Structure 1
Amino acid sequence: MTPSDGGTDVTESFRLASSPLTSLYYWVFGGWLRQRRNLRDMTKTLNRIKDVVEA
């Protein structure tokens, strides 16, 4: 969280260490689907926080 004009900016992130094993997971086991789900779920979480704070 960081202060900004008129409020606070909230950022959520996820980092998976880069390695040959994670590259294999990404391409063979559908890691791109997990990445898409993570982005969708993080957006939902941030929107829920916003709704509660602005209520």
Structure 2
Amino acid sequence: MNRMMKLAVLAVALSTLTACSGHVESKKKDCSYDYLLHPAISISRIIGGCGPAADQ
């Protein structure tokens, strides 16, 4: 039973993380970055590596 619970928790965690990933390109289409949970908390976005993101 304990093993089933661990597998269920792992499945929920993986499905949550994979459902919240994405890709953003700059307005000039010359720079892009991927994010895991939300584009605003991506490291590339925080350091301003690509400038403002294009509307999606």
- Whether these two folds match at TM > 0.5 is no
TM-score by length of 2: 0.38
Comparing both structures, which one devotes a greater share of its residues to helix? 1
